[in-house]
Amino acid sequence: MKKKLISILLVVAMAAMLLTGCSGNSGNQTKDTAKAKLDYSNIKIGEITSLVVNDGGWCQATHQSLLAAMKELGIPEENLKVIENVAEDQVSVTNAYNALASEGVNLIVGASAGYATFLSELAGKNSNIIVAQQGDQVPNLIGYQIRNYEGMFLAGYACALMSPTDTLGFAASMSEASVRGAINGYALGAKYANPNAKVKLVWANSWYDVDIETQSAKTLINQGIKYMGMEASSPAIPQTCQENGAYCIGYNVDMKDLAPKAVLFSYMWNFAPIYKDIITSVVEGKADTSKYYYEGGECANISAFNEAIVPKDVQDKVLQVKADLASGKIKVFGGELKDNKGNILVPAGQTMSDDKINTQQFLVENVIGSF
C-alpha cells in the first residue's frame, strides 16, 4: 500500500512539473546573440555528428573541413561546439539542436544525411540560427552536397586502367542517393577506361561495420576481383585488400597509411570551400537560404597518388580526366545512359538534371547488383 502511495505521489509530482513547464516559455531559449554585432571572432558554430569526429571516416572528413574553413576565416577553434554520437532519430536530433540553441550558436552544421528530415523541421523554429545540412530546402536551412560521383569517376577510371580483368568490385554501405551516386560514378569511370568493364556491387547495409566490410571485401576478392572501389567508413576494406594482394581506392580521408600496399589513392570529401562560403554569409548577415550548394571539382577531391603502386602513366591519365571533368569535356551523367534493367535514363545528346542526379534511384548499365 505504502509503495503504491509513493508511486502515485511521484506521478502527481511529475504531472505538476509538466504543467508548470507548459506555462513557462516553451520552445526556443536562444540567447540574444543576433543583436550583438557578429564577426569572425564571436560567431558560434555548432556541429552534430553521428559518430565521433576522429572516426577515420565521414565524420572526420566533415569535421576537418569545418576546422579548415574556420582557420582560413580566423575563427578561434573554441567557437565550435560539437555534439557527437547523435542518432539519426527525431528525439536525439531535436535534443542536440536545442542544446546548441541554448548555447547561442549562429550556425549549426548537420554532418549526416540522416538528419535532413529532422533538421529541416527544426530549422524553422529559430530565425537566429542558420542550419547547414545536406537535404531539403526550407527556411533557415542552406543545403549542400558534393558531386562525389566526379571523384568516384576517377576512382573507377584508375581501377579499370590497372585491372587485368574486366570485372571490378565496389563495396557500398547503405542504399542512399549519394551512395548510389558514388557507385554509378565509379562504374561510369571504369567504362570510360574500358568499355567492357563491369562492377560487382556488395552492400554492408551499415554505415560503419568492420566485420561486414571485411566480408564485403573478401566476397569480392574470392570472386577473383583485384581492384575495388568503396563507399564504406572503416579501415576494414583497405586492410583486407592488403592481406589478400588486392587493391582499392580509399574513402573519406587519405587511407594510404592504413594499407600502403593496397590503397592506390583516396577519394576525400572536402567541404571546406562550401563551409567557408556559408560561414561568411552568416557573419555578413547575408545567408541565402534559398541557395543550394552542389559542388564538384576540389570538393570531390582525391588524395595524392600512392607512388609505389600507381604507375606514372596511370597518374597522368587520371589527372587528364580530372581536368576534363572540371572543364566540362566529360559529363558523367551524359547520354546515352542506360540503367542495369535496360531502361534509357538519358537519351543521346542530353545530360541528366542536377535534381535527378542528386536523388538518383538507379544503377547504371555496367553495375552487377541491385539496391
Q: What are the residues binding another protein (CB under 8 A)?
A: 2-4, 6-8, 10-11, 14, 17-22, 24-27, 29, 52, 81-92, 94-96, 98-100, 102-103, 113-114, 116-117, 134-135, 175-178, 358-359
Residues forming a β-bridge with 17: none
CB of 50 to another protein, least distance (A): 11
CB of 10 to another protein, least distance (A): 6
* Contact of 79 with 68, CB cutoff 8 Å: no
CB of 356 to another protein, least distance (A): 10
The verdict on whether omega for the bond into residue 103 sits within 30 degrees of 0, i.e. cis, is no
Amino acid at site 31: K
Q: Which residue lies nearer to another protein by CB, 113 or 225? A: 113
Q: Which residue lies nearer to another protein by CB, 27 or 311? A: 27
Count Cα atoms within 13 angstroms, Cβ side, for 193. 29
Residues forming a β-bridge with 146: 295
Q: Which residue lies nearer to another protein by CB, 85 or 320? A: 85
Integer angstrom CA distances of residue 54 from 49, 207, 211, 262, 317: 11, 15, 20, 22, 33
Q: Which residue lies nearer to another protein by CB, 125 or 338? A: 125
Integer angstrom CA distances of residue 182 from 23, 38, 185, 368: 50, 38, 5, 15
Residues forming a β-bridge with 231: 172
CB of 203 to another protein, least distance (A): 11
CB of 90 to another protein, least distance (A): 5
Q: Checking phi first, is residue 199 left (phi over 0); if not, alpha (psi -120 to 50) or beta?
A: beta
CB of 2 to another protein, least distance (A): 6
Q: Which residue lies nearer to another protein by CB, 25 or 222? A: 25
Q: Which residue lies nearer to another protein by CB, 6 or 326? A: 6
Integer angstrom CA distances of residue 324 from 198, 281, 331: 23, 31, 9
Q: What is the DSSP letter of 25?
A: -
CB of 105 to another protein, least distance (A): 10
Q: Which residue lies nearer to another protein by CB, 99 or 162? A: 99
